[in-house]
Chains A and B, each alone.
Chain A
């Protein structure tokens, strides 16, 4: 009876996962717009989505997918059809060129990859270094070169900027900047650190609403280090044939937004706290007289969707991990030499940073639930394999030999004696994996897997604590109920005779 319920539960999870994955693939003919995980990109993504929607073409916005690499790879792989990129980012980050490239060169390079550059959205969003006005004035710093005289300044830079070829390493070398206290943080958090006086310098995007909000001085790039970052629409070449109407609508966005407008739109989202969709739709109404019904999803519906996505991420990855890790643990316990290798490998898997793992998975599993499921699956292996191994090798020799002397064949020994005896330990491993998984699954939002990470991520970006809590509280409750459920399950499944030993 117990086994039947378990099987049923597993079957349900699998069905759910398949439906969800299928849902992610989208319907044929659907146009998919992407955006990076910062406000401006999401607003532009919403705008493009609205433009396509106005033609009646089915369209979907995969918002806040993560960084440049994820977006561009997704575009090349056909996971998304179009998004707004910046020319400087394309030439430096994607093409990995040291020097600026001409527009023609850029187009040709993209064309080789079946990507088209439609043209500029109408503004530049350049990098600059920013300092709080009062502090900059006090220290007499007006340009980047002036920073050389102040080696004690604290620099807090966006994580992506820290590593990018056109980011901090190049800037430091060009100007010979001496600062030692340089750390990478989330771009939005860097602003907050500056505002709180905990840091002196951060990099800014020139369209950021925070520049005005925190009263920042943008330092002059007197050596002309930063390239130009024209916001441009890029799309897959096959869109022309697949959805010509949609493409035409997308191109209405070219030249539609100038710098002042972009700063205002960013401010509307970040400072006034309106959602990106709302901001984009208000803009479309104003500029194109498009009145689109907002896809308004109330808080309960939103929460239900996050919960379902999160449940599937955790449930499916955990079920898969159990079905692989328990046998692996058994093999590891039976074959000592092989076991060392297995334990070492799953141990190493555990040390791969989640973000790196997610990004590495994208070429193989696309964006969405796929890479997140695989990453969570891999992370779940270690606790389960290790506990299964420990549970079985920890069985006293007298019991193992009694089973053998009784005449039980090896398979029956495993099924009737060894696995049941190891069950409390195995369950403890699964519980650990599940609780870790609930937390780790929030990172899935970075690759479009949804779940509670979505509001957390958006909340961090918009400095909206309520939104962060909308993800963080259910996530914590989820973890607690997983813990509680496993304790109940343990009481139900583990026989009285070994329960005391387990706790």
Chain B
């Protein structure tokens, strides 16, 4: 579905991505994980065209992302960022339907889709008339998810969507996300720094460090056969947190 080939990206002289090859399978959830600054968010930004590679290519469904193709391709992708990126001057409902209105959908179609999405994401109907500042963080992320799903895109890109939420809400949303991903069969790329979340949501985990992919596959594979000592260290560090804190996960 999404293919990166020999992608390099430099920010202010420092390589953010240093020769990345990645194939993202359709209908599956791929999780990008790694310590901060490893390039996982940059990779996601390349996929939605918010950044361009200095070298190499990014393809969507066989089509290279470029200035000419990006506008059409973005309509086939949904994007959610950490704080939701909701527009504060629009109500939750208007945030969700913004792009459909821009594309000239008729009111009935918009209304139906909105109802469908609020059921899917367990977002209360009466919350649609509220502004983001009047909603909780978790509800805002549900709205952001609805907005990303509005046009029924083939691909869903999520950049630490749960990063700013407190643990209870986060747990609840993780459950919901997993159910939604399973119900929709979409190609999902999710960025997180939380290994438990990655293992819970992802079919495949891609572990990155210093702009390169160290290893990818299921968590069990990584634990059994770490490609580098760092993979083992990373997993151990996260697991010790798991043992101390979120036992039920």
Contact = CB atoms under 8 A, between A and B. Distances in A.
Given A403-B87, A421-B87, A497-B89, 19 more contacts: A399-B88, A401-B81, A402-B85, A404-B50, A405-B48, A405-B77, A406-B74, A406-B147, A407-B151, A408-B98, A412-B102, A417-B87, A420-B89, A495-B131, A496-B131, A497-B90, A497-B91, A497-B132, A497-B133
B153 to A, nearest CB: 9
The 8 closest A-B pairs by CB, nearest first: A497-B131, A402-B85, A407-B74, A405-B79, A497-B88, A420-B89, A398-B85, A495-B89
Nearest to A494: B89
Interface in B59-104: 71, 74-75, 77, 79, 81, 83, 85-91, 98-99, 102
A500 B87 contact: no
Contacts of A399: 85, 87-88
Contacts of A498: 88-89, 133
Interface of A: 398-399, 401-409, 412, 416-417, 420-421, 423, 494-498, 500-501
Nearest to B150: A406
Contacts of A421: 87-89
B78 to A, nearest CB: 9
Contacts, number: 64
Nearest to A409: B71
Counting chain B CB atoms within 10 Å of each CB, the highest count among A402, A403, A407, A409 belongs to A407
Interface of B: 48-50, 71, 74-75, 77, 79, 81, 83, 85-91, 98-99, 102, 131-134, 147, 151
A402 to B, nearest CB: 3
A412 B133 CA distance: 23
Nearest to A412: B102
A496 B89 CA distance: 7
Contacts of A501: 88
A440 B118 CA distance: 55
B88 A398 contact: no
A251 B172 CA distance: 97
A495 B85 contact: no
B88 A408 contact: no
18 contacts: A398-B81, A398-B85, A399-B85, A399-B88, A401-B50, A402-B87, A405-B48, A406-B74, A408-B98, A416-B102, A417-B87, A423-B89, A495-B89, A497-B89, A497-B90, A498-B88, A498-B89, A498-B133
A405 B45 CA distance: 9
Contacts of B71: 407, 409
Contact of B133 (A417, A423, A500): A500
B129 to A, nearest CB: 10
Contacts of A407: 71, 74-75, 99, 151
Nearest to A419: B89
Contacts of A401: 50, 81, 85
B88 A406 contact: no
Contacts of B90: 495, 497
A398 B87 contact: no
B98 to A, nearest CB: 7
Contacts of B83: 398
Contacts of A409: 71, 102
A402 B102 contact: no
Contacts of B50: 401, 404-405
Contacts of A402: 79, 81, 85-87
Nearest to B79: A405
Counting chain A CB atoms within 10 Å of each CB, the highest count among B77, B87, B89, B131 belongs to B89
B164 to A, nearest CB: 12
A223 to B, nearest CB: 74
A326 B151 CA distance: 33
A435 to B, nearest CB: 25
Contacts of A495: 89-90, 131
A500 B75 CA distance: 33
Nearest to A420: B89
A49 B100 CA distance: 69
A402 B83 CA distance: 11
A500 to B, nearest CB: 7
Contacts of B85: 398-399, 401-402
A110 B71 CA distance: 69
A501 to B, nearest CB: 7
B230 to A, nearest CB: 30
A405 B51 CA distance: 11
Given A495-B89, A497-B88, A406 B131 contact: no
Contacts of A405: 48-50, 74, 77, 79
A243 B77 CA distance: 79
A436 B99 CA distance: 40
Contacts of B74: 405-407
Contacts of B151: 407
A497 B135 CA distance: 11
